[in-house]
Amino acid sequence: MKTLHHLIFWLLALSSAAQDSYSKILQEELTREFEILSKEDPPVYYMDYRYQLKNSWRANASFGKIVSAINVKNGDAFVQLRVGSPEFDNFHEVSQRSMRPFVLPEAVTYNPSAESLAQTFWQKTMEQYAFTGSQYLQKKNLIQQEEQESIADFSPADAQVYYEDPIPAMSPADFEKVQTLIANASKAFKGVPHLKFGNVAFNYNLDRKYFFSSDEQSIVQNYRFARIIVTCALRTEEGDEVYQSKIFDGFSPKALPEQAELDEAVQSLIDKVQQLREAPKAEPYAGPAVLSADAAGVFFHEILGHRIEGHRLRQKINAQTFKKKLGEQVLPKTLSVIFDPEMSIYEGQDLNGYYQYDDQGVKGKKVSIIENGILQSFLMSRTPVPGIDQSNGHGRGDIRNHPVSRQSVMQISTSKPMEEDKLISMLKKECKKQKLEYGYYIANVTGGYTTTHRYSPNAFNVAPTEVYKVFVDDRPNQLVRGVNLIGTPLAMFSTIEAAGDRSAVFNGFCGAESGSVPVSAIAPMILATKIETQKKVEKSSTGPLLPDPMLVSNPNN
């Protein structure tokens, strides 16, 4: 009966995916292998195939010329085998680290024949099987010596069939046009004094993702994202580097700016970095600050987002900041946080963290994580945690790693939105209260990192690129340089005083144990009553001995 059910399922899946010959090959091979492996001892009770076709276009321009331009196509394959039973399998968390097999980076078929695709997945399955059987037995032995939690290792998931049509590749003519666009924009860097580098880069990734599992999940979906990144760094008199960047992104190259807008952005960036070069260095500081909406997204991603990724609650080395805090207040009552992978656009801005199905074939679901400051849930993959035994579609990983719970599109909202002017005046008031001459306005950040394990301070570090002193008197704001925002999460949450009435989007790529995944954060401006900054690491350089030849007259100028 089960076999018949299986057959009906795959027939349905294949009819919806009829346009795609790869689906048929992969599903047939998975079924054939699972039939045999599920009867082995120890049995494989679950397996999935992930196949990802990557088509990427990358170009980089500087001083009006193209420095590199490539279109790379490749394919990647990944197999997950679960041995034992959902209650206890080879993925069970144990305190002793087990080595994963080292797999040589290899090119996997991107334009496959039926034979090469099936053979590739068979090879990957056999590689995994050689490892997982012994891993399961090792853990089984080990766990008998440890306290065992009565919690399953793998949760059930619904059967799914989902198919998206392929998206046409970028044409060579369009790629040429983009190259002209960025080359023209990069002309502005010519003649900039003290320039260390000035680049305009274009990236467009168009991935086709296939997922099939023995749990009757058949997902074929696309991922795409286009970007233009403008970067510029100048040398200061002291030999440090000051840096600014500006990112434009969207699902397709069509979402990127036209020439005039891009030219203006490059010029504005150059002006900003030149101002920054002349700005004084900031001293270490502890006091109130306002984080712009642009900066707040990164801030929440680092200090909050990584700590509500469910699988960390099962890692014995993890600090498990929120493990026992379900139902407790962790943020001010005015703040709420949701994760919604199905949200594709916010106020006209495409969201990089959008997806329909996660990398475990589970439909991405909107999750309310914090409501009015109270912790409600965690981001869940198919690895259950105490109190939550189902995935909410956040099992994510790149094609070379097993998925774990990861962030998608985070949205922070406030029930008491305040206008920017009001927040600034609250900042000044708080400074006066703390007997400080000034507070900080953090206008922009590039990224950050956080540690969540127990063996080092559970801290975060966010790297601002544009920071202003806001004086309590009527002096104008003063741009400063060389600041890093640091702290510990719980202390930081307790200082969030208010939030703004307008939100901004941060699109990025987040790296963690399951690799790099695309994410987004939508956050309002926030006021914190106490932040801490430290000086940035300075790059010691005495600077070039001879002047930049581009600034010296030459036959071509």
Partner 1 sequence: MKTLTKYILSLAIACLIFLSNGALAQVPPHQEIIFKAMEDEMERSMNELSYEDYKKPFYIEYATNLGTAGIVGAKLGGVTEKGTFPINFPTVRLMVGDYELNDEKFNNKESRVFHNDGNSPLSIEPDYDMLRRSLWIMTNNVYKTASEKFENQLDIMEQNNYTKADMIATDFAKAEPLQMIVEEPIQEFDLNYCEKIVSDLSSKATEFQFLSDFSASISYITMHRFYVNSEGSKTLMPYALARLIVRAEAMDEKNKVVGQELKYYFDRQSDLPTLEILGQDAEALISNVKENLGAEEFSGRYEGPLIFEKGAVAQLLVEKLCTRGNGLISNPRNLVYSSKEGLFWGKLFSWDKNIGDKFLDKSISVVSYPFLEEFEGKRLIGGGEKFDLQAVVPQDSLVLFENGYLRNQLNDRTPTENQPRSFGRSQPYLSNFGSSNGYLRLSLVQKRGPDVIEVSSSEKKSMEALYATAKELADEEGNEVLYVARSLSTSADSAPINFYVVDVESGSEELIKGVNYESNSTSLKDLACVSMESSAYNMLLVDDKLLRDVMKRYERAPDEIKEFFRSMNTTGGFPMSVISPNVVLLEDQELKASGTDNIPQVVPVPSPLSVR
191 vs 387, which CB is nearer to partner 1?
A: 191
* Min CB(319)–partner 1 separation in Å: 29
Q: Which of 73, 177, 316, 475 binds partner 1 (CB under 8 A)?
A: 73
Which amino acid would we find at residue 501? D
Q: Which of 129, 163, 243, 346 binds partner 1 (CB under 8 A)?
A: 129
* Sequential DSSP letters for 228-276: EEEEEEEE-TTS-EEEEEEEEEESSGGGS--HHHHHHHHHHHHHHHHHH
Does residue 105 interact with partner 1 by CB under 8 A?
Answer: yes
How is residue 420 written in tokens?
Answer: 């920017």
* Min CB(233)–partner 1 separation in Å: 8
* Min CB(399)–partner 1 separation in Å: 15
* Min CB(112)–partner 1 separation in Å: 3
User: Tokens 């000044």 — which residue?
Assistant: 428
How is residue 152 written in tokens?
Answer: 């399953």
Does residue 18 interact with partner 1 by CB under 8 A?
Answer: no
Which window, 34-42, 78-86, 327-335, 523-531, contacts partner 1 (CB under 8 A)?
Answer: 34-42
Please state, in angstroms and rounded to a whole number, the distance separating the CA atoms of residues 336 and 330: 10
* Min CB(550)–partner 1 separation in Å: 5
Please state, in angstroms and rounded to a whole number, the distance separating the CA atoms of residues 532 and 283: 11
Please state, in angstroms and rounded to a whole number, the distance separating the CA atoms of residues 59 and 107: 22
144 vs 556, which CB is nearer to partner 1?
A: 556
Binding to partner 1 by CB under 8 A, coded x per residue (else -) over 453-472, reads --------------------
Which window, 72-80, 205-213, 249-257, 264-272, contacts partner 1 (CB under 8 A)?
Answer: 72-80
Please state, in angstroms and rounded to a whole number, the distance separating the CA atoms of residues 412 and 173: 40
The CB density around residue 271, as the number of other CB atoms within 10 Å, is 11
* Min CB(33)–partner 1 separation in Å: 5
Does residue 130 interact with partner 1 by CB under 8 A?
Answer: yes
At 314, is the secondary structure helix, strand, or coil? helix
Please state, in angstroms and rounded to a whole number, the distance separating the CA atoms of residues 224 and 248: 14
* Sequential DSSP letters for 164-200: -PPPPPPPHHHHHHHHHHHHHHHGGGTT-TTEEEEEE
How is residue 412 written in tokens?
Answer: 């922070």
Contact 322, 308 (CB under 8 A): yes
Which amino acid would we find at residue 481? R
How is residue 289 written in tokens?
Answer: 């600050």
Please state, in angstroms and rounded to a whole number, the distance separating the CA atoms of residues 465 and 359: 34
150 vs 540, which CB is nearer to partner 1?
A: 540
* Min CB(93)–partner 1 separation in Å: 22
Does residue 69 interact with partner 1 by CB under 8 A?
Answer: yes
Q: Which of 40, 271, 283, 419 binds partner 1 (CB under 8 A)?
A: 40
Binding to partner 1 by CB under 8 A, coded x per residue (else -) over 194-233, reads --xx------------------------------------
Binding site for partner 1 (CB under 8 A): 29, 32-33, 36-37, 40, 60, 62-63, 65-75, 99, 101-102, 104-113, 115-120, 122-123, 125-126, 129-130, 133, 190, 196-197, 235, 541-546, 548-550, 554-557
